[in-house]
Amino acid sequence: MLEFGDSKVNPLPTNINLHAIEHKFSPYTDNGGTTVAVSGEDYAVVAADTRQSEGYSINTRYSPKAFKLSNYAVLGTGGFHADAVTLVKRIGQRLEWFQHQHEKPMSTPSIAQMLSIMLYHKRFFPFYVYNILGGLDENGKGCVYSYDPVGSFEREGWRAGGSGGSIVQPFLDNQFADHVNDARVNLPVESVVKIVKDAFTGAAERDIYTGDYLEIFIVTRDGVQLEKMDLKKD
Amino acid sequence: MRGKDCVAIATDRRFGVQALGLSTEFQKIFAVNDKIYYGLAGLGTDVQTLSEKFTFKTNMYKLNEDREIGVRTFAHLVSSTLYEKRFGPYYAEPVIVGLDKHNAPFICSMDLIGCINFAEDFVVTGTASEQLYGMCEALWEPNLEADDLFETISQAMMSATNRDALSGWGANVVVITKDKIITRTLKGRAD
């Protein structure tokens, strides 16, 4: 008979697990963070914190969650950041094609509708992203659209989303509620920016996933301006 | 909420089981005496049982000590009562407010097994706690007088409960100062 090596016979192990071992890979994770958008008579404000977390850890203190899509539209994202970044990349590509095909930039309400369709196309393996789109519509008036991960959307006057959404939303309702006109806010842009900053400092106090820095995009007929602010880093 | 020489406590008025609303006037604020009030949020039966237990315990305290119970003592009494049931708890999270024997304002809250949170500013519990945190964080400032404290706590309560499906139908608000206690009922969205 053939012999291999030193022919030593090792005993079989006795500490094996005879039960099934469940392996679980999740394609998603929650990177936390809060986003807010407010629309006014002739402006829109879109703000998002920059902390990126995973569980009880912080991945980075500066990872922007709000992205300028066009001169008149800014998209705030929350949820799974990898999906958010990919989604923004694909929206950017669609905006380029539109610009070449129609020789004009895409209007914000059109971007809003397109985003809804893009999200629903992945209805059975969704982008785990909570989107809030803010900008100026074709008449130069402020508009805010908020979405669920599979594309259900609605135009609103203001919306707070993300991990700190439930902390911020009632404060915005309290400051902006005007039962005559719920489509937009009746305040000047400077007041709105102050209120948004206060809302985020409150959220950073009580939500562990919100903090580090705040980026505020202000959209007017002159385009998009960016303001930055520090938040608590604990 | 804590104010300047005063405290305020507010609760909503809804009592329901998930989507079904059963009462639109459910009382969740209880008085121990003129200087101590507490609110209980959570399982209805535990709210009622605990309030009856605390009435019993504070009555016995008064008979044995021949004096009113102090607010800090009462808070610890509540904490012990809850921790007694550590491995089969009461599903209720209390908020306690009052003026101590020097008429200094005191507020605290507890989790369902009696861990006390001694706060300097405000305490919140219930299904709308996140919303209440946001409102209080934004609206509260130190040293508010009784009337301003009433306005602040009312705005916080109404805006927060309007964003919670399980809370609402108005609010009960009590403001306590050393001279008087003002109880008000706020009208809110009936949904």
pLDDT (tens digit per residue) in A106-155:
999 999 999 999 999 999 999 999 999 999 999 999 999 999 999 999 99
Backbone φ and ψ for B82, nearest 5 degrees, come out as -70, -40
Spatial CA neighbour of A199 closest among A158, A233, A147: A158
Contact assignment for B135 to A174 by CB distance below 8 Å: yes
The total number of residues shown for chain B amounts to 191
Q: In chain B, whose CA is at the least distance from the CA of A177? A: B159
Contact assignment for A173 to B162 by CB distance below 8 Å: yes
Is residue B2 scored above 70 in pLDDT? yes
Is residue A194 scored above 80 in pLDDT? yes
Rounded mean pLDDT of A67-89?
A: 98
- What was the pLDDT predicted at B156? 97
Is residue B46 scored above 80 in pLDDT? yes
- What was the pLDDT predicted at A19? 83
Is residue A206 scored above 80 in pLDDT? yes
Q: For chain B, how big is the Rg over CA atoms in Å? A: 16
Shortest Cα–Cα distance, A171 to chain B (Å): 5
Which sign does the torsion angle of CA A185, A189, A195, A201 carry? positive
| Residue spans of beta strands (DSSP E) within B13-115 | 15-17, 20-23, 29-33, 36-42, 92-99, 105-110
- What was the pLDDT predicted at B128? 95
- What was the pLDDT predicted at A100? 98
Quickly state the pLDDT bin for A181 (edges 50, 70, 90). low
Q: For B63-105, how does the pLDDT look when each residue is reduced to its tens digit (9 = 90+)? A: 999 999 999 999 999 999 999 999 999 999 999 999 999 999 9
* Average pLDDT value for chain A: 95
H-type alpha helices, A60-164: 81-102, 108-121
Is residue A68 a contact partner of residue A217, using CB atoms and an 8 Å limit?
yes
Q: How many CB pairs under 8 A join A and B?
A: 49
Quickly state the pLDDT bin for A82 (edges 50, 70, 90). very high
- A194 and B CB contact within 8 Å: no
The total number of residues shown for chain A amounts to 234
- A206 and B CB contact within 8 Å: yes
Residues 147-166 of B with CB under 8 A from A: 155, 159-160, 162-163
Is residue B116 a contact partner of residue B110, using CB atoms and an 8 Å limit?
yes
Tokens encoding A200:
């985020």
A184/B163: higher pLDDT: B163
Nearest to A173 among B130, B137, B159 (CB): B159
Is residue A203 scored above 80 in pLDDT? yes
Separation of alpha carbons A114 and A92, rounded Å = 12
* Average pLDDT value for chain B: 96
Quickly state the pLDDT bin for A4 (edges 50, 70, 90). confident
For A86, other C-beta atoms within 10 Å of its C-beta total 13
- B138 and A CB contact within 8 Å: yes
- What was the pLDDT predicted at A13? 83
Report residue A101 CA to chain centroid gap: 28
- What was the pLDDT predicted at A180? 65
DSSP state of B69: P
* B25-60: burial string, b at 16+ Cβ within 10 Å, e else: ebebbbbbeebbbbbbbbebebbeebbeebeebbee
CA distances from residue A177 to A142, A156, A158, A187, A213 in whole angstroms, order as listed: 16, 12, 10, 11, 27
Spatial CA neighbour of B153 closest among B9, B14, B5: B9
